[in-house]
């Protein structure tokens, strides 16, 4: 089946030669074509160009999008969107002055979600997560990474990852899964953290691998959570089963998480509030995507990651939502772009690069998604009529996504 999208006001993030990512000063450039057409065959992009050269295929369904911008869907490379219930009670505690770490020390935070998850059936968990998947597709997300990490025992970690697999089988969004058994230390292991790490390595990882439930392996390598040594052991164990690293690093301190991630060739290191010259040096020349989570820093009112320093040092940068019940209860990537612009002083071009091509790389999907290029999967956002692409992060609470196409098919967003 051929589809021709005509009269596109601006087609953005176009590519003639495929790039794996955009780095440093290049992030300020956003390739685009004014007054464009885009042709799709089945689920892939066939070709694109300017309207003065628009093809007239015999049999094609045509979509006229006058006044609208077309761009690749967002790739959200860091979420925890399979979770049970919510944590708005803690939200009140935070407002009254407790820090994220203090709440965690008391057995709240992640462990609250662990308790709820254990009481929730797999079917119920699936229904809750499915609603979030529909929500984020409506926001224009076409690919999402989903972590486990609220199970913290083998049975419940598997439950989370089976739900993620079922979402992959039953929805059109592209899903990558990450095993995050080392997300928090359960209360009963607080006096013997090594024993818990042993359990992750000897029991959980083999069980996850036996069912082929994960693409990546993650560790919360930070102050009060897992050490560099723990992280190193878990990464090595996961890599034996073909799992690639994707590390929670340097959210709460200079944890060494970035260095250990790079050492084991992690796909990404994420959060990155605490980044100095040594961390930047470690990332330079590596294949690891620095990924910042503006939603979590905003919601927890944290120190901001030095993104300008990283980009000035020639690094690429991705942004993701971190959709989760504790530190970022939103998967709205357009709002993430706005936070990137407002709080981190990134330009609209930089945030679009960070939420499309670079975040596709951060989840291993850059060959298929993240830009408008011949042969890539036709995952597209068609905006409402808007004056410019800068208007997207600028109008920070307006819903500007009119249609979403996934795998060449328009999605019913009702
Ligand atoms: N920082 C660690 N993990 C999550 C938070 C999970 C939670 O609080 O439920 C994050 O990425 O922000
Ligand atoms: Zn996270």
Instruction: Check which CATH number belongs to the domain holding 243 and give it.
Output: 3.20.20.140
Range of the domain at 47: 2-73+371-410
3-state class of 247 per DSSP?
Answer: strand
Do 350 and 406 reside in the same domain of the chain?
no
Helical spans, DSSP H, in 267-355: 277-283, 294-299, 307-312, 333-344, 348-355
pLDDT over 90 percentage in the chain: 94
Dig out the tokens for 230 from the structure: 């723990």
Do 334 and 235 reside in the same domain of the chain?
yes
Residue 17: exposure state from Cβ atoms within 10 A (0-12, 13-18, ≥19): exposed
d(CA 289, CA 334): 20
d(CA 190, CA 105): 10
pLDDT tens profile 240-279: 999 999 999 999 999 999 999 999 999 999 999 999 999 9
The pLDDT, as a whole number, for residue 106 is 78
Do 339 and 390 reside in the same domain of the chain?
no
Do 401 and 273 reside in the same domain of the chain?
no
pLDDT at residue 107 tops 80: no
Cβ(291)–Cβ(321) below 8 Å: no
Do 14 and 83 reside in the same domain of the chain?
no
d(CA 77, CA 320): 6
Cβ(395)–Cβ(60) below 8 Å: no
Which residues, judged by CB distance below 6 Å to any ligand atom, belong to the binding site of ligand 1?
80, 109-110, 113, 220, 248, 251, 296, 322, 324-327
> Which one of 325, 327, 330 would you pick to mutate in the ligand 1 pocket, going by the greatest count of ligand atoms within 8 A of its CB?
327
Average pLDDT over residues 198-203: 98
Q: Is the pTM of this model over 0.90?
A: yes
Cβ(154)–Cβ(204) below 8 Å: yes
CA angle (345, 351, 353) in 5-degree steps: 140
Do 378 and 229 reside in the same domain of the chain?
no
Do 205 and 314 reside in the same domain of the chain?
yes
Do 86 and 60 reside in the same domain of the chain?
no
Q: What is the domain count for the chain?
A: 2
Average pLDDT, the chain: 97
CB neighbours of 247 closer than 8 A, spacing ≥ 6? Answer: 218, 219, 221, 231, 235, 257, 258, 260, 261, 266, 268, 269, 270
How far is ligand 1, taken at its centre, from the CA of residue 352, in Å? 24
Do 196 and 313 reside in the same domain of the chain?
yes
Instruction: Give Cα separations from 42 to 104, 168, 292 (angstroms).
Output: 48, 20, 34
Of 344, 362, 380, the position where a domain reaches its end is 362
Do 250 and 196 reside in the same domain of the chain?
yes
CA 116 to chain centre: 24
CB neighbours of 71 closer than 8 A, spacing ≥ 6? Answer: 11, 12, 13, 352, 356, 372, 380, 381, 383, 389
The pLDDT, as a whole number, for residue 337 is 98
> Which one of 248, 252, 293 would you pick to mutate in the ligand 1 pocket, going by the greatest count of ligand atoms within 8 A of its CB?
248
How far is ligand 1, taken at its centre, from the CA of residue 110, in Å? 7
Query: Under the phi-then-psi rule, with left for phi > 0, alpha for psi from -120 to 50, and beta for the rest, what region is 161?
Result: alpha
Q: How many CB atoms lie within 10 A of CB 223?
A: 14
pLDDT tens profile 27-77: 999 999 999 999 999 999 999 999 999 999 989 999 999 999 999 999 999
How far is ligand 2, taken at its centre, from the CA of residue 331, in Å? 12
Instruction: Supply the CATH number for residue 22's domain.
Output: 2.30.40.10
Do 181 and 228 reside in the same domain of the chain?
yes
Do 54 and 141 reside in the same domain of the chain?
no
- Measured from the alpha carbon of residue 257, the closest ligand is 1
């Amino acid at each position: 089946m051929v589809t021709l999208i005509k009269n596109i006001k601006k087609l953005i993030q176009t590519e003639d030669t495929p790039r794996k990512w955009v780095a440093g000063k290049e992030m300020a450039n956003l390739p685009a074509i004014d007054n464009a057409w885009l042709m799709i065959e089945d689920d892939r992009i066939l070709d694109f160009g300017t309207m003065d050269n628009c093809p007239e295929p015999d049999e094609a369904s045509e979509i006229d999008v006058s006044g609208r911008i077309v761009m690749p869907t967002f790739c959200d490379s860091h979420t925890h969107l399979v979770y049970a219930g919510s944590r708005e009670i803690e939200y009140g505690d935070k407002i009254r002055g407790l820090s994220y770490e203090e709440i965690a020390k008391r057995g709240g935070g992640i462990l609250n979600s662990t308790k709820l998850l254990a009481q929730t059936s797999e079917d119920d968990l699936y229904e809750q997560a499915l609603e979030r998947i529909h929500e984020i597709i409506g926001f224009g997300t076409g690919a999402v990474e989903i972590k486990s990490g609220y199970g913290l025992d083998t049975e419940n970690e598997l439950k989370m990852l089976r739900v993620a697999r079922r979402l992959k089988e039953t929805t059109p969004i592209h899903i990558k899964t990450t095993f995050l058994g080392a997300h928090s230390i359960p209360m009963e292991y607080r006096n013997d953290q090594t024993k818990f790490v042993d359990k992750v390595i000897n029991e959980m990882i083999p069980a996850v691998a036996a069912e082929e439930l994960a693409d990546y392996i993650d560790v919360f390598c930070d102050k009060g959570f897992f050490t560099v040594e723990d992280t190193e052991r878990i990464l090595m164990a996961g890599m034996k089963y073909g799992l690639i690293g994707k590390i929670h690093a340097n959210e709460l301190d200079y944890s060494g998480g970035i260095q250990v991630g790079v050492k084991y060739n992690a796909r990404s290191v994420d959060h990155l509030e605490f980044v100095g010259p040594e961390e930047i040096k470690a990332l330079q020349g590596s294949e690891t995507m620095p990924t910042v989570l503006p939603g979590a820093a905003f919601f927890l009112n944290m120190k901001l990651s030095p993104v300008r320093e990283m980009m000035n040092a020639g690094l690429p940068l991705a942004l993701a939502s971190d959709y989760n019940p504790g530190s970022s209860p939103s998967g709205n990537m357009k709002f993430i772009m706005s936070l990137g612009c407002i709080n981190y002083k990134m330009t609209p071009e930089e945030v679009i690069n960070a939420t499309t091509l670079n975040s596709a790389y951060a989840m291993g999907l850059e060959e298929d998604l993240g830009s408008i290029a011949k042969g890539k999967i036709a995952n597209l956002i068609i905006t409402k009529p808007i004056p410019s692409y800068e208007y997207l992060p600028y109008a920070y609470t307006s819903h500007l996504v009119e249609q979403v196409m996934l795998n060449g098919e328009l999605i019913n967003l009702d």
